[in-house]
Structure 1
Amino acid sequence: MGIHFDKALGIHQDALRLRADRTKVLASNLANESTPGYQARDINFAAALGRTRDSHDSLALDTSDAELLYRVPNHPSQDGNTVELGVEQAVFSQNASDFQTSLAFTNMKLKGLAKAIAGQ
């Protein structure tokens, strides 16, 4: 009888993968803060994760996928850039915190599996 890690870890492995992809998108926004005409992008995390849970497939997010949405700026700039530094930093920070939380849950589950295998 083998251990199926995808079942043992639940949704957390998909959440980690999606948060890592979202980190790349948000970092790109921050890097292009002063690029004229750059359009800030983001991923609808809840919708993407919900679709993954419904389909029971491994999450394979492509940044050209429909998951990638444009961010609507609160204060549009004259050069057409929609990146707002404060907003992007806050979203990036929250995403990093959420990534750490999912990672902590994954570590706890793996430690629990290790104890079960060791018979503790």
Structure 2
Amino acid sequence: MIGRIDEEIGFMSKALNLHAQRQQLLAGNIANADTPNYKAVDIDFSRALQTAMGSGDAVGLNRTAPGHLQAKDSNPFGARTLYRQPAQPSIDGNTVDMDVERTQFIDNAIRYQFALDRVSGKFKEMQLALSSQ
């Protein structure tokens, strides 16, 4: 029972971290909507989550000494930053589509809140179980 709860909380905490990282990228896209030649970025959430859970097929870079630098797209969750392909290119080279960014931002926020509620619920269940004994 405890192992299952631990696995679910571990999964949700990794999902929360990825959602937070994605939210920063999406907020950056929205903030740079009027910046010439800015390229909208995002992450492949499902692949990054699989990698974070240890079931991904992506090969990461190893740091063999503490002084080594991480690769530019490297992060602890395996979320590679990808450029979003525009449906209609703009004259100034900016690839931000505000409709897409707003939709993705809200969708990601809702998914973040869901994961947060699940983790909170698991802790409440454990607290209730411990207090009733």
User: Structure 1 stretches (4+) deviating beyond 3 angstroms?
Assistant: 5-8
Partner residue of 1:49? 49
* Number of the residue aligned with 1:35: 35
User: Could you say which residue in structure 2 is the equivalent of 1:59?
Assistant: none
Aligned-partner SS, 2:42 = strand
The Cα of 1:118 is off from its aligned counterpart by 1.3
The 8 Å contact of residues 16 and 102 in structure 1, kept in 2 or not, is answered as: yes
Question: TM-score of the superposition, structure 2-length normalised?
Answer: 0.76
Taking the aligned partners of 2:89 and 2:132, their CA distance within structure 1 comes to: 60
1:114 pairs with 116, 127, 132, which one?
127
CA pair 113-39 structure 1, distance change in 2 beyond 3 A? same
Q: 1:79 aligns with which of 87, 92, 100?
A: 92
Identity of aligned residues (%): 41
Q: 1:27-71, CA deviations, whole angstroms, 9 ceiling, x for partnerless residues?
A: 00000000000000001100000111126xxxxxx9833611000
- TM-score where L is the length of structure 1: 0.84
SS of the equivalent of 1:88 reads helix
Residue in 2 that maps onto 1:64: 73
| Contiguous gaps of at least 5 residues in structure 1 | 56-61
The SS at the match of 1:37 is coil
**In structure 2, how many angstroms separate the alpha carbons of the residues matched to 1:51 and 1:9?**
17
Runs of 5+ unmatched residues, structure 2: 56-70
Partner of 1:91: 104
Distance 1:93 1:110 in 2: 26
Higher percent of residues as helix: 1
